[in-house]
Amino acid sequence: MKDVFGGGVVTGLSSTVVVIAALLLGCQEAATHRADHDSMADPLAVAKAVPGTLHVVDERGTRNLTLSEILPKFTPRIVVTLDPYYQSTKRFVAVPLGELLKEFWPGLDNEPHAEIEFAAADGYKVRLSAKLAQSPPAFIALRDVDHPPFEPISDRKADPSPLYLFWEGKEWTNLETHPRPWGIVTISKVHSGQGLQHVTPPHGFGADGCAEAGFRLFSAQCQRCHAINGEGGRLGPDLNVPRNILEYRSEPDVRAYIKDPATFRYGNMPAHPLLTTEHLDQLVCYLREMGRHKFDPRQPAAKTEKGS
C-alpha cells in the first residue's frame, strides 16, 4: 500500500494505522461540516455571534449597542430574497427591521414625518420613510446561509457585514425605491429634511424649473454617495465645497463622467445609462446653481454663504 503522506510503501500494522487515521480525519471533517450546518440552522445562535457595534442616533444623542447583545432580542429567521446585487436568490439569517426600529423608538408609529437613515462604514447613506422601513418585507441580514458569513457583492468584492438591509421575496428588486445598503454601522432617526438644509438655495429655485428638476434627480440618484455643502453621502466627494465640481471640471467632462465613469477611470461610481440629455441638463443646472450658494461646514459660517 502506498504511503499517502510520503509516497513510500507501508505494510501490516502501519497500513492499519493509516486507514484508521484517514477514517478519523473524515469523521472530524464531517463533524465540523455538521456543526457549521447546525449553527446555520439555529438563527438565534447566529444572532448571538454577530460581532461589532451599532450606533443608534436620535435627538437624544448616540447609543452604542453591542450587536451580539441586542440582536437575540428579536426574531431571527431564515429569509429568502431575489437579490439584484447578487442577481440570484439568496437566503439570509435575518431579523425584521420593523422589530429593530420599534425597540429603538417605541413611538415611531406616531411620528408621520420621521425618516430612518442608514449609514455604512464607507460613508454611503440611505434614507427611508419610517413607514417603508417598518414594512413587513424589510429585513436586516446577519449572515448568508449558503456562503457564511457573507458572499462578497459585485466585482468590488464588497463585504456586506455586519448588517445588510434587504427585502423579502422577489417583488422588491428596484434599488431606487427599495435600496439595499450594506455594511451598516449607524441607524439614525431624523425628521424629513433634517441635516439637508443646505442642499437647496436659501431662497428657493428659479422659476424655469431646471435646477429644481436637477435637485430631484440628485436627491434620488446621487445623494446617497455625494454631498452638497457637506450634507449627504460620504462615499464620493462633496460636489460643492470647497469648490464646485464645475469650477475644476469642464461641463462636457462632468456630463460624460456621470453617464459612464469607467470611460475616465475605474472606481466605485456606477454608470447611469438611462439618464437622458435632458436629465444631464437638469443636473448641470442644479450643480451650477448650488455653486452660487456655498456653505462649508468646515469654515466659519459668515465666510461661506455666497450669493444669498
Partners of 115 in beta bridges: 129, 190
Residue 223 pLDDT: 85
> Helix or strand or coil: residue 27?
helix
Q: How far apart are CA 7 and CA 5, in angstroms?
A: 6
Residue 249 pLDDT: 95
Contact by Cβ (8 Å): 204, 254: no
Q: Which residue type occupies 104?
A: F
Half-sphere exposure of 170 (CA within 13 A, CB side): 3
Angle at 160 between CA 156 and CA 161, to 5 degrees: 135
Q: How far apart are CA 20 and CA 117, in angstroms?
A: 58
pLDDT along the chain (308 residues), means of 10: 41 48 47 44 89 94 95 94 96 96 94 92 90 96 96 89 97 92 95 81 89 89 87 86 94 94 87 92 94 89 48
Q: How far apart are CA 146 and CA 160, in angstroms?
A: 14
CATH number assigned to the domain with residue range 210-303, chosen from the 4 options 1.20.1540.10, 1.10.10.10, 3.40.50.300, 1.10.760.10: 1.10.760.10
Partners of 117 in beta bridges: 127, 188
43-191 topology per CATH? Sulfite Oxidase; Chain A, domain 2 (3.90.420)
Q: Is the pTM of this model over 0.75?
A: no
pLDDT tens-digit map of 80-117: 999 999 999 999 999 999 999 999 999 999 998 899 99
Residue 102 pLDDT: 95
Residue 135 pLDDT: 96
Residue 33 pLDDT: 43
User: Which of 205-212's residues contact partners 24+ apart within 8 Å by CB, and which partners?
Assistant: 205/289, 206/289, 210/281, 210/282, 210/285, 210/286, 211/282, 211/285, 211/286, 211/288, 211/289, 212/286
227-228 vs 138-144, strand pairing mode: unpaired
Residue 41 pLDDT: 59
pLDDT tens-digit map of 183-225: 999 999 998 777 788 888 988 888 889 999 998 898 888 987 8
Q: How far apart are CA 2 and CA 94, in angstroms?
A: 49
Cα→Cα distances 51→70, 104, 108, Å: 11, 19, 27
